[in-house]
Amino acid sequence: MPSHASDPRHQRLVAVLPPLLARTCPPDGGGYGGAYELRLTGREVRELGGLDLLRSALRAAARSQGWTRVETYGTDTAVGEAVVGVVDRREAPGGFAEAVDRHRQKRMRTAVETVARNRAEGTRRTVPGSVVLAAQEFRAALADLG
């Protein structure tokens, strides 16, 4: 796989992503337990340099946050979109492990409850940290960078 580090698109992404990744970590988790996923249009992915470049930028941004053991993924979907993400796979030490576990459980519970309310009430709410909000925040951060 070629290095993307000198590509200006890569550098731009690496400048934008770290604060977005950091916000996915539990507040009391010591920087452990983050996971970030983007769902973008195929056009956006092409303009940003493709899935390989996006995954590379996610890895670099994760390393800048101290995530030394990460998993990245990326694929095109059947509906012309792409999914790309990074997960912190480090084992959280001591008290941080409990905080990370509580945070994950809370996010899952909130997502399930929101979906149930949406169905029952016929509304559409987004969940904090959802892929919908992550994509909006990512697009806004890119626009702010210029």
| Of residues 6, 21, 34, the one with CA closest to residue 99 | 34
| Spacing of C-alpha 76 from chain mean position | 16
- Please tell me the predicted confidence (pLDDT) of residue 107: 86
Give the domain ranges of the chain.
8-145
> Residue 22 phi/psi, 5° resolution?
-60, -35
Confidence grade of residue 78 (pLDDT, cut at 50, 70, 90): confident
Dist. CA 106–CA 52, nearest whole Å: 32
Read off the pLDDT of residues 11-25 as tens digits, 9 standing for 90 and up.
999 999 999 999 999
